């Protein structure tokens, strides 16, 4: 008998007019598809399925057709999404994963689907945590995959994250339902496959799959606690100064290395709109420089020291090519209001700060003003509100530091 969807998942999805299911044709996703069909076939919630052909194997097209046939027999709308993975550079599995999420999110949004279900299992969770251990990951990495994650504006759910792969496939076999195994899931060139082969010996050694589920839950709770603690530090110690952030240098020593690292990282993530975090070693080196009273540039942010304070500002090089329409958000943080027109745009102020006679009266460093948003008409400066040249324009921050009361 096939495992059923968790009750909380059914309760959540039954309120929706449509739900999406990602189905590759493998045992895990086929079991998910049948479980979703069993739960919603007699409801008003419509099921849509999608398969991704990564263009990496000639068999992929027939696997998508296999899923399409499964869906047609159950009156489930099916779509095949295509990606030419042969042109991927670097980590192929990571590139395929990123492409899969992007394709599924675009498909879901085109169909007005808010939630897409994925067939990840307890085995996948264990593999993810073991690989995180290999990287020396902290609590976030050891939290594994969450039950729910949002990517590209779409919520992805993993209802079988607490169910083993063997349980799902035993259910399929009992029901007489076949599936198609992807041969790349046995290819030892990929780290995940090498790690997968360790799961059996680990169980024999007394480390069951369920232990990894408990680790993920424990680390997720620890991460949540650390996020709230960091938000409290932000509220207590960080001052916003016209888009920059100020922090007393002595605070870094008082809150310990890990607290200081998380605090600095949270400020940088706000400044750079959540761009990829630098390596932990780079974070620690930047922190040591600040504690010595030295400047540092990292992750598109300029960290400068003066008068016992550390100033966090956007690095000019990180924004000098960023252009937006005047009614768009610039650099993920700034909204400008004024006499909008089609022939003007937002870009960084840059060296044109010297054309603003009152910029010194703003009391902001020249480096901060260079990376601030300005209004341009071709190469002519129209307005630079932060540099004291407003010309009927104003601006506001739309993405500020998180606080413990905001739910971040």
Instruction: Say how far apart CA 356 and CA 345 lie, in whole Å.
Output: 18
Can you name the residues that pair with 48 across neighbouring β-strands? 20, 77
CA 13 to chain centre: 23
Q: By the 8 A CB rule, do 286 and 296 touch?
A: yes
Instruction: Say how far apart CA 48 and CA 275 lie, in whole Å.
Output: 32
Q: What is the pLDDT of residues 268-326, one digit of tens each?
A: 999 998 787 888 889 999 999 988 889 999 999 999 988 889 999 999 999 999 999 99
The pTM for the full model equals 0.80
Give one DSSP letter per residue of 151-164, joined into a string.
ETTEEEE-TTTTS-
C-alpha distance from residue 371 to each of 64, 120, 281 (Å):
48, 42, 26
Q: What is the pLDDT of residues 46-90, one digit of tens each?
A: 999 999 997 777 788 899 999 999 999 999 999 999 987 555 455
Domains and CATH numbers, the chain: 7-216 (3.40.50.620), 242-314 (no CATH), 317-397 (no CATH)
Q: What is the pLDDT of residues 15-55, one digit of tens each?
A: 899 999 999 999 999 999 999 999 999 999 999 999 999 77
Instruction: Say how far apart CA 36 and CA 230 lie, in whole Å.
Output: 39
Q: Name the residue among 408, 367, 358 with its Cα closest to residue 387.
A: 358
DSSP 188: T
Instruction: Say how far apart CA 71 and CA 36 lie, in whole Å.
Output: 11
Can you name the residues that pair with 240 across neighbouring β-strands? 245
Q: Name the residue among 280, 263, 244, 254 with its Cα closest to residue 402.
A: 263
Task: At 89, list the tokens.
Answer: 């550079």
Quote the Cα angle for 362-363-364, to 5°: 90
Half-sphere exposure of 200 (CA within 13 A, CB side): 4
pLDDT band of residue 399 (cuts 50, 70, 90) is confident
């Amino acid at each position: 008998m096939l495992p059923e969807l968790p009750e909380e998942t059914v309760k959540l999805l039954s309120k929706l007019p449509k739900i999406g299911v990602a189905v590759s044709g493998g045992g895990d996703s086929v079991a998910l598809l049948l479980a979703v069909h069993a739960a919603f076939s007699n409801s008003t919630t419509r099921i849509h399925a999608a398969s991704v052909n990564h263009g990496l194997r000639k068999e992929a097209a027939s696997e998508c057709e296999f899923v399409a046939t499964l869906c047609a027999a159950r009156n489930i709308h099916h779509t095949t999404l295509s990606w030419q993975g042969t042109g991927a550079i670097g980590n192929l599995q990571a590139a395929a994963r990123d492409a899969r999420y992007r394709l599924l999110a675009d498909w879901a949004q085109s169909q007005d689907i808010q939630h897409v279900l994925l067939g990840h299992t307890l085995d996948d969770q264990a593999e993810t945590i073991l690989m995180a251990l290999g990287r020396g990951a902290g609590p976030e990495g050891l939290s594994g995959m969450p039950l729910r994650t949002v990517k590209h504006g779409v919520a992805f759910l993993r209802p079988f994250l607490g169910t083993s792969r063997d349980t799902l496939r035993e259910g399929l076999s009992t029901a007489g339902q076949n599936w198609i195994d992807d041969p790349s899931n046995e290819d030892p060139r990929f780290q995940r496959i090498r790690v997968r082969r360790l799961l059996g010996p680990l169980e024999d050694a007394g480390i069951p799959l369920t232990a990894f589920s408990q680790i993920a839950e424990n680390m997720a709770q620890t991460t949540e606690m650390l996020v709230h603690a960091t938000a409290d530090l932000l509220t207590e110690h960080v001052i916003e100064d016209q888009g920059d952030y100020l922090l007393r240098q002595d605070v870094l020593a008082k809150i310990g290395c890990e607290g200081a690292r998380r605090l600095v990282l949270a400020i940088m993530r706000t400044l750079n709109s959540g761009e990829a975090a630098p390596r932990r070693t780079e974070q620690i080196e930047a922190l040591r420089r600040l504690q010595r009273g030295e400047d540092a540039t990292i992750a598109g942010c300029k960290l400068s020291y003066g008068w016992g304070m550390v100033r966090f500002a956007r690095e000019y090089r990180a924004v000098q090519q960023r252009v937006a329409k005047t009614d768009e958000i610039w650099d993920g943080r700034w909204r400008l209001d004024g006499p909008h027109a089609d022939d003007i745009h937002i870009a960084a102020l840059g060296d044109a700060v010297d054309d603003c006679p009152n910029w010194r009266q703003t009391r902001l460093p020249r480096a901060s003003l260079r990376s601030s948003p300005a209004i341009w008409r071709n190469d002519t400066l129209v307005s630079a509100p932060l540099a004291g040249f407003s010309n009927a324009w104003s601006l506001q921050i739309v993405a500020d530091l998180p606080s413990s009361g905001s739910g971040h």
